[in-house]
Amino acid sequence: MSFARSLLLVAILPWSHLVAQQRSVTTSDVFSRYADRVVKIQVVETGSAAKATIGSGFFVTGSGHLVTNYHVISKLIHDPDRYRAELIDVAGAVKPVAVLGVDVVHDLAVLGTEVRPPAHFSLARVTVAQGNRLYSLGHPEDLGLSIVEGTYNGHLAHTRHPRIHFTGSLNPGMSGGPTIAEDGRVIGINVATAGNQLSFLVPVERAASLLEQVLGPGDDPPARTLEAIGQQLRDHQDAYLRDMFVGETKMVDLGPYRLITEPAPFFRCWADATRRQELPYETVRHHCSTDDQLFIAGDQSTGVVDVEHEMISTKKLNSSQFFSLYTSVFANDNTPGGEEEHVTSWRCGTRNVRNAALPMRAVLCLRRYRKLGELYDGVLKVAVLGRGDSGLVSTLTMSGVTFGNVDRLARRYLERISWR
């Protein structure tokens, strides 16, 4: 068996070797040309002098400004007394860096150093065609500066904040590094991966506008503190939530119920039904969610809005049995998790509420963020009452929003549930 396999490998090897050689000409050119503009960024715990996080960054001005991801240096924002950040250049020299501004929504940060780099990237708006070859630079897993080839696949269709789909394997540690075209134009900043060559970049123009804000005259100072990050989140959520569920909203019919679906184009919806012979009831689920989570800290992310409907119906259970099932479905916990450092415990209020169409049991659970000012997580759960053989549990989850928007959206959501 192993003999047969090694034969096969030998048979393939010369050909693939040849292909690799042909390509490596340009890749190694790109690498040697631009490697000195990319540095390793590490956040160090001052007490133990041990590395807490590592990432990559790249020079964008001749006076030593660097761009990286917010999540690379987030510890410094949360606990500036306990951490410091430094860069390690190609030659291995270590220099201190300071955070000059962050954009938490797009996961970007601009850093300042006293280093005067011999060369730097420019952050000009660029257009690339789908399929173009791109090169990503960074320090994967702290293994040394590496270059990764991949292709440009356009912007993601279903996200609230723009992301470039890059088909190449980004790995932890490459975060904050640049992804460039052959000629050295920056296309985006490495930010995330979904595995199997499915990677995401922040478009370069976001970094350009943050840099502009940092270099600007100062009437609009860039965010550097947790309070300022909180303000960025509040502005961000207000922009897309304030008018949600107003006017024409897409509705979906589930059994006898008419419900909100796909509140905005950046929601993705899924549906699923369970009809099993051994169960005396049926379940239909409908779920819409914004995919993009905003990174706040290693153990806190936010920004997801989620609409979930679960209809159960039966022809075999009596109404008492059915309602005990309904109670257990309603009591199911599907709230986001959290750490005591970042959020309070939940507080919930329950009432039997009637809108223009139907009676329901409504629960609102609320908790507040501890460090980011007036931001809350709110979960509205509704169980429609009045039928003995079918029930609907509907949940609206809002994370990282102001109370004003929790209140507005919860009211609109309650008003919108109706019979078919």
Q: Which residues bind another protein (CB under 8 A)?
A: 278-281, 314, 316-328, 330-331, 333, 335-340, 343-355, 358-359, 361-370, 376, 379, 381, 383, 385-386, 388, 391, 403, 406-407, 410-411, 414-415
Give Rg (Cα) of the chain: 26
Least separation in angstroms between CB 387 and another protein: 8
CA nearest to 254, candidates 388, 384, 353, 411: 384
Question: What values do phi and psi take at 304, rounded to 5?
Answer: -90, 130
361 forms beta bridges with 352, 383
- Shorter beta-carbon distance to another protein: residue 273 or 348: 348
Q: Tell me which residue has tokens 């507040």.
A: 368
- Shorter beta-carbon distance to another protein: residue 193 or 405: 405
Cβ-Cβ contacts under 8 Å for 92 (sequence gap 6 or more): none
418 forms beta bridges with 258
- Shorter beta-carbon distance to another protein: residue 198 or 353: 353
- Shorter beta-carbon distance to another protein: residue 103 or 310: 310
Question: What values do phi and psi take at 33, rounded to 5?
Answer: -75, -40
- Shorter beta-carbon distance to another protein: residue 99 or 417: 417
CA distances for 179 relative to 182, 189, 300, 408, angstroms: 10, 6, 27, 41
Least separation in angstroms between CB 285 and another protein: 17
Least separation in angstroms between CB 300 and another protein: 11
Least separation in angstroms between CB 227 and another protein: 14
Least separation in angstroms between CB 321 and another protein: 6
- Shorter beta-carbon distance to another protein: residue 132 or 355: 355
- Shorter beta-carbon distance to another protein: residue 24 or 332: 332
Q: Tell me which residue has tokens 């296309």.
A: 187
- Shorter beta-carbon distance to another protein: residue 180 or 406: 406
Least separation in angstroms between CB 408 and another protein: 10
For residue 130 the two structure tokens come to 């789908």
For residue 132 the two structure tokens come to 């173009």
Distance CA 176, CA 20 (A): 27
Handedness of CA 144, 145, 147, 152 (dihedral sign): positive
Least separation in angstroms between CB 244 and another protein: 16
Least separation in angstroms between CB 193 and another protein: 27
Least separation in angstroms between CB 71 and another protein: 22
- Shorter beta-carbon distance to another protein: residue 95 or 420: 420
Question: What values do phi and psi take at 342, rounded to 5?
Answer: -105, -30
Distance CA 102, CA 232 (A): 10
| Cβ pair 406, 376 in contact under 8 A | yes
Amino acid at site 159: T
